[in-house]
Each structure stands twice: as C-alpha cells, then as structure tokens.
C-alpha cells in the first residue's frame, strides 16, 4: 500500500509542477511518518523514499535508532514544536529542523550541534495565518529572526515553513502560501541565501507547488489514516 501511495503522491507532484511550469526536481517530497512504526518507514524506503519528517522529538529519535542500519541513506526532519529542554538530542540526531520560531531555540541548537556533523539545516516557522493556537513567529518579526539565526555558526538557515489554516477551496489555500513566498522573496532580496519553502501537505500540495513550495510534507496520503 505504501509503495502505491508514494507513486500516487509523486504523480500529483509531477502534475502540479507541470501546471506551474516548474521542473519536478524543484519539489522534494517529505514523508511525514508520525504515529507510524519504523516498519512503515522501512517499507517506504524500499519504495525509494529517503526523507522523513517527525512531529514528536522522542518518537523521531526512537525511529532513527531503530533504523540505524539505514542512517546514511536517510534524511530526518523535525517538523513539530521544539522545546528548549529537547534541543540537544535534536541537534545530535536530526538533519533538519523546520520549526524554529525563537532565537533561544536556534542558539541552543547551534551550541549543541556536534562538531563532527554538518551544520543543521533550519527553517523559520511562520504563523502565516495568525492563528492563536499555532506556533510560529509573526510575519513582521521574520526579518529580525532570520538575521540573528543566519549568524549562528552551526546552523544553516534554509528558508521558511508554515502550517496555514486548513481550507478546501484552492484560492483560500493559495493565499497564505503566496504570503509566505513574498516573505521568502523579501529575505532573499536582502541577501539571505534561502532555498527552501516548506509548505503544503496531503490536502493542499497542489496549491503550495503553484505558489513555489520546494518541500511538501505529506503524511496521510502516503501512510494512511493515523490511529491517534
């Protein structure tokens, strides 16, 4: 099932890229494996998937350890909230963090990144829809945070991430993605070497790709309905 689902999602990405006049290689598929066992990740790897996103730190670390035999082949992304008391294990184990929304978190990740590892790739999470229940830096504070994070020695600032308010209408889906893209373009114009827009999930990846997504985070369309 997972192999067939991956093929279906890849087809959706290819069609969305064609519609947007973009090469399919410009969009990376991140398989969100939260609440699914390491055996499901292994099944996805057998179908050619190598990049995985986890929302919960300890669940992600457990899978990284269980799948240690595949570590050199896989890229692990933390896409969920990160508390300051868990930055060390994330700095030591993950390759990417998409959910940096405070300078304190970025400073701890930089200080705790082991010297023998490549710089940790990070995205700034932006609360692009202004929802009180969502994590993320306010759009008007992005520039200052980006400038501070870009100067940290063990991090590489890659771009921006957002989890917009859900909608079933394409126009409503595209609006927050477009707003994030404008912030992204503004930062690039100010000299930041950004290359990543982490937007779009199972239900809105087409809208995200139309607005410039370079990473789409897809879970249920690959692994099925989560049990919790």
145-168 pLDDT per residue, tens: 999 999 999 999 999 999 998 889
Does residue 79 surpass a pLDDT of 90? yes
pLDDT band at 50 (very low <50, low <70, confident <90, very high): very high
Tell me what pLDDT residue 225 has: 83
Number of residues that this document lists for the chain: 228
Helix (H) or strand (E) holding 221: helix 220-223
Query: Mean pLDDT in the chain?
Result: 96
Distance CA 176, CA 164 (A): 6
Report the pLDDT value the prediction gives residue 227, as an integer from 0 to 100: 60
pTM: 0.96
Architecture of domain 2-221: Alpha-Beta Barrel (3.20)
Whether the pLDDT of residue 90 is over 60: the answer is yes
- Quote the CA–CA distance of 99 and 82 in Å, as a whole number: 7
| Tens digits of residue pLDDT in 99-148 | 999 999 999 999 999 999 999 999 999 999 887 778 899 999 999 999 99
Domain boundaries, the chain: 2-221
CA distance 104 to 223: 34
pLDDT score at 228: 55
């Amino acid at each position: 099932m997972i192999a067939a689902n991956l093929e279906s999602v890849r087809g959706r990405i290819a069609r969305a890229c064609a519609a947007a006049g973009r090469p399919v290689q410009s969009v990376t598929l991140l398989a969100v494996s939260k609440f699914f066992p390491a055996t499901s990740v292994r099944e996805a790897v057998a179908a050619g998937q190598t990049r995985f996103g986890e929302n919960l730190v300890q669940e992600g670390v457990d899978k990284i350890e269980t799948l240690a035999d595949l570590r050199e082949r896989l890229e692990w992304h933390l896409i969920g909230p990160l508390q300051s008391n868990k930055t060390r294990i994330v700095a030591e184990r993950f390759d990417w963090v998409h959910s940096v929304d405070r300078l304190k978190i970025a400073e701890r990740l930089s200080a705790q990144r082991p010297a023998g590892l490549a710089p940790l790739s990070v995205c700034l999470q932006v609360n692009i829809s202004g929802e009180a229940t969502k994590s993320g830096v306010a759009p008007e504070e992005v520039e200052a945070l980006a400038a501070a994070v870009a100067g940290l020695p063990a991090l590489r600032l890659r771009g921006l991430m957002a989890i917009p308010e859900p909608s079933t209408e394409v126009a409503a889906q595209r609006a927050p993605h477009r707003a994030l893209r404008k912030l992204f373009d503004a930062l690039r114009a100010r000299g930041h070497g950004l290359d990543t827009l982490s937007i779009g999930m199972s239900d809105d990846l087409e809208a995200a790709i139309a607005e410039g997504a370079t990473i789409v985070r897809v879970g249920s369309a690959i692994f099925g309905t989560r049990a919790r």
